């Protein structure tokens, strides 16, 4: 994967910022750009809301900002864990299919003619 050109990166940032237009992304002294990931943008928005509401981080707990940031981070972590589980499941499926393909190739190259025809069929050989 190649890095986007500066123009492509600017277009992505513009789109990501449009995607989080409903979120506060500006605090008092700073602001965040959207990332393109809604869960991450929600964390950034919680931090920006805290920063806008209280100039000093020691006051964040008093106004519930710490809890909001933690809730947004926990929600983002649930999304990440779900994606990791899906990735792991897909990896396992790929390995299972590779095993089937290897067994079919072993049969294809083996001495049994009927098994070889079946293997060629499984592997998509039109002459099977």
Residues 70 and 60: beta-carbon distance below 8 Å: no
Task: Pick out the chain residues at pLDDT < 50.
Answer: none
Q: Tell me what pLDDT residue 43 has.
A: 96
Q: Tell me what pLDDT residue 109 has.
A: 76
pTM: 0.68
User: What is the residue extent of each domain of the chain?
Assistant: 6-122
pLDDT digits (tens, 9 = 90+) for 56-93: 899 999 999 999 999 999 999 999 999 999 999 999 99
Q: Tell me what pLDDT residue 112 has.
A: 65
Report the number of secondary-structure helices (H) and strands (E) in the chain.
Answer: 4, 0
Q: Tell me what pLDDT residue 38 has.
A: 92
Q: Compute the distance between CA of residue 124 and CA of residue 112 in angstroms, rounded to an integer.
A: 18
Q: Tell me what pLDDT residue 13 has.
A: 78
């Amino acid at each position: 994967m190649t890095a986007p050109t500066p123009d492509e990166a600017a277009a992505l940032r513009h789109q990501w910022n449009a995607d989080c237009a409903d979120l506060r992304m500006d605090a008092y002294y700073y602001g965040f750009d959207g990332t393109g990931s809604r869960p991450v943008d929600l964390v950034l928005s919680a931090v920006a809301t805290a920063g806008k509401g209280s100039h000093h981080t020691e006051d964040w707990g008093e106004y519930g900002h710490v809890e909001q940031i933690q809730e947004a981070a926990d929600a983002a972590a649930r999304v990440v864990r779900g994606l990791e589980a899906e990735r792991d499941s897909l990896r396992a499926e790929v390995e299972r299919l590779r095993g089937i393909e290897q067994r079919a190739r072993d049969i294809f190259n083996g001495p049994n003619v009927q098994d070889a025809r079946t293997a060629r069929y499984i592997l998509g050989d039109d002459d099977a």
